Amino acid sequence: MTGQYLSNPQIILASSSPRRKNLLNQINLKFTTKPSRFDEPEPDYSSEKPEDYAEGLAYQKALMVSRGKKSTLVIGSDTIVVINDEILNKPQSEEDAVAMLKKLSGKTHRVITAVALILTDSLGEIGSETRFHEVTEVTFSRMTDRDIRDYTATGSPLDKAGAYGIQDDWGSIFVEKINGDYYNVVGFPLNRFYRELMNFSPGYLPRP
């Protein structure tokens, strides 16, 4: 690292997700948003674990937004749903969403949210970085075909990993129980983020 950190550097969330924005606002983090244009690759099941895939996506999003930014903390994040070792990202169509929800019906799946933090110095170079992920198990009750299609027809599943939302969304009726961090399923693991930020750069910690 050749540059020095400035006081009161800015924070950027490299995401367009309204859910992540709301969660970070909830803990009084002061930040701006700049969605990454990173083109997400398909997972390589032969050599990559789902956790590593999610962390890689989060990091690439943060890296792209961090370029040219000086004295900035960039937060990248990505959420995936994993069922029987198959990764479910956002559905590409209504029929794709229907197929995903049928796979989840009556079963337990994992929700993995990865976070990458990149801190740049006063010259715009990467000073430090870290990445981590949180896993929550979610169990669905069995869903009728009508419930699945009615929900899919609302369009809400199309911008959500695994084709459902657990908060402020009709998809919450499918969730029978969860094991782990609820906010991780919403889209950002607040508890883990706070603890990681405390070790990574405590000067950025939000306060009540």
Which positions are catalytic? 78
With b for 16 or more beta-carbon neighbours within 10 A and e for fewer, the 29-57 pattern comes to bebebbebebeeeebeeeeeebbebbbbb
In this structure, what token pair is assigned to residue 23?
Answer: 């969660």
With b for 16 or more beta-carbon neighbours within 10 A and e for fewer, the 175-186 pattern comes to beebeebebbbb
Per the CB < 8 A criterion, the answer to whether 35 and 16 are in contact is: yes
Q: Cβ neighbours of residue 95 under 8 Å, at least 6 residues apart? A: none
Question: Of the candidates 164, 168, 40, which has an alpha carbon nearest to the alpha carbon of residue 91?
Answer: 164
Beta strands in 53-125 (DSSP E): 72-83, 86-88, 108-120
